[in-house]
Amino acid sequence: GAVVSQHPSWVICKSGTSVKIECRSLDFQATTMFWYRQFPKQSLMLMATSNEGSKATYEQGVEKDKFLINHASLTLSTLTVTSAHPEDSSFYICSARGGPDTGELFFGEGSRLTVL
């Protein structure tokens, strides 16, 4: 099946710094990518929908200036957590959809962020 690669898998940073997480579709072109956050023992929470070549659509309550999303190509979307704080520590997961009429999603491995 299709492969989505996410990097880094683990990241530890100091409070106030910025962290970039990459999500790549390795063998298909992803017109739409989704970024999720998951806190321990909770389900996935959609943060934003990223469409190639246009601005991301953020879910209610997600700060667009804090969580910068860039989808500059059909195979790469990035999530930058700016001025990270300990409460941003979470498991961030991306997923990609192959086309506008394709329902199936392919998930990255996830990135665990710990902010000290």
Partner 1 sequence: GQNIDQPTEMTATEGAIVQINCTYQTSGFNGLFWYQQHAGEAPTFLSYNVLDGLEEKGRFSSFLSRSKGYSYLLLKELQMKDSASYLCAVTDSNYQLIWGAGTKLIIKP
Applying CB under 8 A, the residues found at the interface with partner 1 are 1, 6, 34, 42-44, 46, 49, 91, 93, 97, 100-110, 112
Residue 98, classified by CB atoms within 10 Å of its CB into exposed (0-12), middle (13-18) or buried (19+), is: middle
The 10 Å Cβ neighbour count of residue 30 is: 30
DSSP secondary structure letters along 77-110: EEEEE-S--GGG-EEEEEEEESSTT---EEE---
Nearer to partner 1, 53 or 103 (CB): 103
Report the nearest approach of partner 1 to the CB of residue 26 (Å): 15
Nearer to partner 1, 76 or 82 (CB): 76
Summary count for the chain: helices (H), strands (E) = 0, 11
**What residues contact 46, with CB distance under 8 A and at least 6 apart?**
34, 35, 36, 59
Nearer to partner 1, 26 or 83 (CB): 26
Nearer to partner 1, 1 or 86 (CB): 1
Report the nearest approach of partner 1 to the CB of residue 91 (Å): 7
Report the nearest approach of partner 1 to the CB of residue 71 (Å): 17
Report the nearest approach of partner 1 to the CB of residue 16 (Å): 26
